[in-house]
Structure 1
Amino acid sequence: MPDPVRLTAWVRGRVQGVGFRWWTRSRALELGLVGWARNAADGRVEVVAEGPRSDCDALLALLRGGGTPGHVDHVAERFSPPKGGLSGFSER
C-alpha cells in the first residue's frame, strides 16, 4: 500500500441524526478505506480512516464537499501513522 496514513477528522455542523455516519461509511468503503465513524457527545462526528494518503485525502474532500447529509460547518483533521488492526468500516 503506498504511503498509508491514519486520518482522524472531526466534523461539526448538523451531522447527527441525518445519516451522516452511514454516508461516510459508504464513501470510505468505496475508497477501500478501513476505520469507523461515531457520534461525539459534543454533537460532532469523529471519523477515523486508514489507507493510502491519496484515498484519505479524497474522503476528507468528500466530507468538506457539500454533498453530505445534513450540513457540515467545519472539518478539522489530523494525519498520523496508521495503527492497523482495523477491518471494514463501521458506524459506532
Structure 2
Amino acid sequence: MNATRAVAVVTGHVQGVGYRWFVRSLAESAGLTGSARNLPDGRVEVVLEGAADDVAAVLDQLDGPRAPGSVRRVDVRHEPVRGCRQFTTE
C-alpha cells in the first residue's frame, strides 16, 4: 500500500452542523484512519491516513455537495505517516 497522510483545515460554517461526523463516515467507508476536530477559531482540522488514492478521494469530498454546512475553503498539507490506528472525532 502506498500510504500517505494529509492534514486538511476546512474553513466556513462547519461546526455544529455534523461536519466531523460526515468526515468520519467518509474516512471509515474508505478504510482510512485519522481524526476530525473542531478548532477554536471555527474551522475543522481533518487528518487522513491510508492508501493515497483513498485519501485523495476523501479530500475531494470535503467541500462537495454532500458536505454539511457551508465550506468556503479547504487547505491541505501532506506530512509523514504517523501510523494512526483508528478514526476519531474530538
Alignment TM-score, normalising by the size of structure 2: 0.95
Q: Please tell me the residue identity of whatever aligns with 1:89.
A: F
Q: Please tell me the residue identity of whatever aligns with 1:90.
A: T
Q: Please tell me the residue identity of whatever aligns with 1:64.
A: D
Q: Please tell me the residue identity of whatever aligns with 2:87.
A: F
2:32 aligns to what?
33
Decide which moves more: 21-30 or 58-67.
58-67
Runs of 4+ residues deviating >6 angstroms: none
1:67-78 paired onto structure 2 within 5 Å: 67-78=66-77
Q: Percent identity?
A: 48
Q: CA RMSD in A?
A: 0.8
Gaps of 5+ in 2: none
Secondary structure, counterpart of 1:56 in structure 2: helix
2:5 aligns to what?
6
Q: 2:53, 2:79 → 1: CA distance?
A: 14
Gaps of 5+ in 1: none
Secondary structure, counterpart of 1:72 in structure 2: strand
Query: How many aligned positions are there?
Result: 90
